[in-house]
Chains A and B, each alone.
Chain A
Amino acid sequence: MKQLLTGNEAIARGAWEAGATFAAAYPGTPSTEITENLAQYEEIYAEWAPNEKVALEVGIGAAMAGRRTIVSLKHVGLNVAADPFCTFSYTGTPTGFVLICADDPEMHSSQNEQDNRYYAKLAKVPLLEPSDSQEALDAVKTAFDISENFDTPVLVITTTRVNHSRTIVNTGRRKRVKQKPFVQNPPKYVMVPAFARKRHKFVEERTAHLKEYSEKSPLNFIEKGSKEIGVVTSGVAYQYAKEVFPDASFLKLGMTNPLPEKLIRKFAKSVKKIYVIEELEPFLEDSIKALGIEVIGKSKLPVCGELNPDIIKNALVRRRRPHPVEDASGLPMRPPNLCAGCPHRGTYTALKPLKTIVFGDIGCYTLGVLPPLSMHDMCVCMGASIGVSHGYAKAAGKDAQKCVGVLGDSTFLHSGLTGVLEMAYNKGLNTVIILDNRTTAMTGGQEHAATGRTLQGDDTNAVDLVEVCKALGIKNTFRVDPFKIRETRKVIRRELAKDAPSVLISTAPCPLRAKIRHTPMFVDEAVCNECGGCLRINCPAITSSGGKPSINTFLCNGCTVCAQICPKKAIKVIKK
């Protein structure tokens, strides 16, 4: 059947058609919807793990139990899961195991744009790179077969433009795959040095076999065209390049580790000039150059950001521009913002006057970096706010400017627990604020281990964040209400003054996720002295015309943060 599917929908469909029955993931843009879609198939059991490392390990367990398994994560998530990933390559897998990794060139929603194709070389596993939804569906099915035929986990790398584009897909039927019983085999699966040395040799042999497969695989193919220009390409860059060079010869690589060296040499002989067109790093280019083949790639094409037909055209084809390209840089920007009614705005409003250094983290609350809130001094990776604030406070000393670490509830459960343990163990001096909005908000509101619901929405155990932090050894663990500004500020000030580690849990549900809507507020013009204080909390519902603030009742969520900071008490609840 012909369907218009996003790459993520197609990946889920591909796994289902391949007979997969088990899925695990931690949400991360642009990969989140893969697992949300997998959970829609009744034959597939899917779960949110607290982080990517756990998700991958859970997946390994499912494969050991004999079920075809798919684990999905975003590029930086594979950093978290790299430890099991690199050794799972040695053990191999008794049943099909596919790891989907969504890279994010251009950093549409990420903190870096690392090229994860290098992970395939690092872990010595086969790598597939689909370029649209149809290829994504087919790649997942092929990946399961490669996984079982060669005893290896298979990495499938997509990019945002593949995950979040809709293209036409021919869907097929589901293959029934029987669950295999567990077979004990310690020399294969127990990676103590003596066994691992043997398995490393196996991995090298496997790579040699995979190289042969890559030469013949239909994933790698030549499209004959003009002999003047040959293009070697992979992923969505193939689609852009086809548009720019409709008459050129193409070597389209769908399997990019290990590379089909013979096929590349054959192609190189058939054309006069070779362009290697790929996003981010010269991953293909360096390997092709190492074969002694002259190519043009990153000397002309950018390493930074994503590609598009225009960038390729401007870099490789001289052309006269029909129109001067408009410069939009002078326009007022429209960055994403904390929503009206967001509890983070309350916590930040309480924290701001205390003039602390703020080490931030990965989540919606990172949006607080924008002026006029300007809350953050650093943001590195998931969970880093705790370790960084601990290290800073220890190194800067008791008399230095105070610091706090802020991170969300899902981020805390992802990789904050060990950081808090560190604070307790090494006599920390910092205060950490967990911005607990009861969901994984930035990726669209997924459940996690503290929400009390599974991916399917079933009731389950909800971890109590206060109890956890106390159990880890933080005596000064307190819950605060982000919508009670003065009280929250008082507690933060008190904890900052202590020569001991503290964790404050600022709890109120995300209004988008919990569908909360309080009565909107209005500005009483007769009382307002136009001091501008309410404008500095950066609420999308508050606007100003000639210095006069007013509140958009359609957007206002009635959270009262603006009313609490108004020195004239000019902001009031609309009476019904």
Chain B
Amino acid sequence: MEKQDCNILIVGVGGQGNILAGKIISEAFVAEGYDVKQSEVHGMAQRGGAVSAHVRAGAKVYSPLIPETDADFILSFEQLETLRYLNYASRKTTVILNTLRSDPPSVAIGREEYPADVLEKIRKKTKKIITLDANSIAKELGTERVTNSVLVGCLAALLPLKKSVWGKMYRKFVKEKLVDINLKALEAGMELVGKS
């Protein structure tokens, strides 16, 4: 089977589990025989800074960084962060948008405004937008810590990979006692996209 190029940009705030999400998505592509490169800058991740990870898969991948306008998917853990990376979006891009709002320090102390028109700005780029409140879905499942897996589930439903690969990846890269709850979250994300 032809291995189509797939560029996934994961954006969010340090501490949201986006780096683990990037690793699992990358490993899933590897398991399915793709060439994969993944790049992230995580030096400041623990300290609440903006965090982004590039995942690129295909028959042969050179650059670990996605070129501008060339993201097939933007998996966004936080609304405002999506806007910071809109230069990677174009008409072909599907944006999976977690509706969580996390105020940066300048907004938290009332010096700046949180942008009001996030969805509108994304719509100017692409009509393919999936919005969900992944934090609430995760909370209902038992813990907000699996928010990242809900979002990975949404993406997984749209990727050209076998469904069975995801369970294998979670069992390989997530602590044993956390595998079940993460797989439930993954399933919830997949279902949500399946319905829409």
Please say whether chains A and B are actual partners in one complex.
yes
A residues in contact (CB < 8 Å) with B = 2, 4, 29-30, 108-109, 132, 160-161, 164-168, 236, 239-240, 242-243, 308-310, 313, 321-323, 325-326, 328, 331-339, 364, 367, 370, 372, 444, 512, 532, 535-536, 538, 540, 542-547
List chain A residues, Cβ under 8 A from B106: 332-333
Counting residue pairs across A and B whose Cβ atoms lie within 8 Å, the total is 149
Taken together as a complex, chains A and B put the C-alpha atoms of A109 and B42 apart, in Å, by 9
**Is B37 in contact with A326, judged by CB distance below 8 angstroms?**
no
List chain B residues, Cβ under 8 A from A236: 64
**Is A328 in contact with B84, judged by CB distance below 8 angstroms?**
yes
**Is B48 in contact with A339, judged by CB distance below 8 angstroms?**
yes
Of the candidates A332, A339, A370, A535, the one whose C-beta lies within 8 Å of that of B46 is: A339
Q: Which residue of B lies closest to A236 (CB)?
A: B64
Find the residue from B38, B80, B110 having the highest chain A CB count within 10 A.
B110
**Is A164 in contact with B105, judged by CB distance below 8 angstroms?**
no
Q: CB-CB contacts of B48-66 with A at 8 A, as 1s and 0s?
A: 1110000000000111110
Find the residue from A334, A336, A542 having the highest chain B CB count within 10 A.
A334
Taken together as a complex, chains A and B put the C-alpha atoms of A242 and B14 apart, in Å, by 32
Taken together as a complex, chains A and B put the C-alpha atoms of A108 and B26 apart, in Å, by 23
Taken together as a complex, chains A and B put the C-alpha atoms of A458 and B63 apart, in Å, by 41
Q: Which residue of B lies closest to A162 (CB)?
A: B64
**Is A331 in contact with B80, judged by CB distance below 8 angstroms?**
yes
Taken together as a complex, chains A and B put the C-alpha atoms of A109 and B47 apart, in Å, by 13
Query: Which 10 A-B residue pairings sit nearest by Cβ, starting from the closest?
Result: A336-B49, A109-B43, A336-B47, A336-B44, A543-B108, A165-B64, A326-B86, A165-B39, A242-B62, A334-B104
**Is B65 in contact with A328, judged by CB distance below 8 angstroms?**
no
Of the candidates A108, A326, A333, the one whose C-beta lies within 8 Å of that of B104 is: A333
List chain A residues, Cβ under 8 A from B50: 334
B67 at the interface (CB under 8 A from A): yes
Taken together as a complex, chains A and B put the C-alpha atoms of A30 and B61 apart, in Å, by 23
**Is B41 in contact with A335, judged by CB distance below 8 angstroms?**
no
Taken together as a complex, chains A and B put the C-alpha atoms of A444 and B47 apart, in Å, by 11
List chain A residues, Cβ under 8 A from B64: 132, 161, 165, 167, 236, 239
**Is B49 in contact with A166, judged by CB distance below 8 angstroms?**
no
Q: A333-B104, A337-B105 are in contact. Are A161 and B65 (CB under 8 A)?
A: yes
Chain B nearest CB, measured from A294 CB (Å): 27
Q: Which residue of A lies closest to B115 (CB)?
A: A331
**Is B46 in contact with A4, judged by CB distance below 8 angstroms?**
no
List chain A residues, Cβ under 8 A from B114: 332
A–B complex contacts, Cβ < 8 Å, 16 sampled: A165-B38, A167-B38, A168-B35, A242-B63, A308-B63, A310-B67, A313-B67, A325-B68, A328-B83, A328-B85, A331-B83, A332-B113, A334-B48, A335-B49, A335-B105, A535-B110
B residues in contact (CB < 8 Å) with A = 13-14, 23, 26-27, 30, 35-44, 46-50, 61-65, 67-69, 80-81, 83-87, 89-90, 103-110, 112-115, 125
Q: Which residue of A lies closest to B41 (CB)?
A: A108
Of the candidates A328, A332, A338, A372, the one whose C-beta lies within 8 Å of that of B86 is: A328
List chain A residues, Cβ under 8 A from B46: 339, 444, 512
Find the residue from A2, A239, A542 having the highest chain B CB count within 10 A.
A239
Taken together as a complex, chains A and B put the C-alpha atoms of A43 and B69 apart, in Å, by 47
Taken together as a complex, chains A and B put the C-alpha atoms of A239 and B42 apart, in Å, by 21
Chain B nearest CB, measured from A243 CB (Å): 5
Main secondary structure of the interface of A (DSSP, over half): loop
Q: Which residue of A lies closest to B110 (CB)?
A: A544
List chain B residues, Cβ under 8 A from A338: 47
Chain B nearest CB, measured from A99 CB (Å): 22
Find the residue from B23, B48, B115 having the highest chain A CB count within 10 A.
B48
Find the residue from B39, B46, B64, B87 having the highest chain A CB count within 10 A.
B64
Of the candidates A325, A336, A542, the one whose C-beta lies within 8 Å of that of B48 is: A336
List chain A residues, Cβ under 8 A from B36: 4, 166-168
List chain A residues, Cβ under 8 A from B87: 325-326, 328
Chain A nearest CB, measured from B70 CB (Å): 9
List chain A residues, Cβ under 8 A from B27: 4
List chain A residues, Cβ under 8 A from B84: 328, 331, 334
**Is A4 in contact with B115, judged by CB distance below 8 angstroms?**
no
**Is A166 in contact with B37, judged by CB distance below 8 angstroms?**
yes
**Is A310 in contact with B68, judged by CB distance below 8 angstroms?**
yes
**Is B62 in contact with A243, judged by CB distance below 8 angstroms?**
yes
User: Besides A239-B62, A372-B109, 7 other CB < 8 A contacts?
Assistant: A2-B30, A160-B41, A161-B39, A168-B36, A236-B64, A334-B50, A535-B110
**Is A332 in contact with B112, judged by CB distance below 8 angstroms?**
yes
Chain A nearest CB, measured from B20 CB (Å): 12
Find the residue from B27, B61, B125 having the highest chain A CB count within 10 A.
B61
List chain B residues, Cβ under 8 A from A328: 83-87
List chain B residues, Cβ under 8 A from A29: 43
List chain A residues, Cβ under 8 A from B115: 331-332
Taken together as a complex, chains A and B put the C-alpha atoms of A370 and B106 apart, in Å, by 11
Chain B nearest CB, measured from A494 CB (Å): 32
Q: A165-B39, A310-B68, A328-B84 are in contact. Are A540 and B48 (CB under 8 A)?
A: yes
Of the candidates A160, A309, A538, the one whose C-beta lies within 8 Å of that of B105 is: A538
Find the residue from A308, A367, A535 having the highest chain B CB count within 10 A.
A308
Taken together as a complex, chains A and B put the C-alpha atoms of A331 and B85 apart, in Å, by 11
Taken together as a complex, chains A and B put the C-alpha atoms of A335 and B44 apart, in Å, by 9
Taken together as a complex, chains A and B put the C-alpha atoms of A118 and B39 apart, in Å, by 26
Find the residue from A30, A166, A321, A444 having the highest chain B CB count within 10 A.
A166
**Is A543 in contact with B103, judged by CB distance below 8 angstroms?**
yes
List chain A residues, Cβ under 8 A from B23: 166
List chain A residues, Cβ under 8 A from B37: 132, 165-167, 239
List chain B residues, Cβ under 8 A from A536: 109
Taken together as a complex, chains A and B put the C-alpha atoms of A160 and B39 apart, in Å, by 9
**Is A4 in contact with B48, judged by CB distance below 8 angstroms?**
no
Q: Which residue of B lies closest to A330 (CB)?
A: B115
List chain B residues, Cβ under 8 A from A535: 108-110
Of the candidates B41, B65, B69, B107, the one whose C-beta lies within 8 Å of that of A332 is: B107
List chain B residues, Cβ under 8 A from A165: 37-40, 64
Chain B nearest CB, measured from A163 CB (Å): 10
Chain A nearest CB, measured from B72 CB (Å): 15
Q: A331-B80, A543-B103 are in contact. Are A322 and B49 (CB under 8 A)?
A: no
Q: A309-B67, A325-B87 are in contact. Are A164 and B108 (CB under 8 A)?
A: no
Q: Which residue of B lies closest to A328 (CB)?
A: B84
List chain B residues, Cβ under 8 A from A321: 69
List chain B residues, Cβ under 8 A from A242: 62-63
Taken together as a complex, chains A and B put the C-alpha atoms of A321 and B67 apart, in Å, by 12
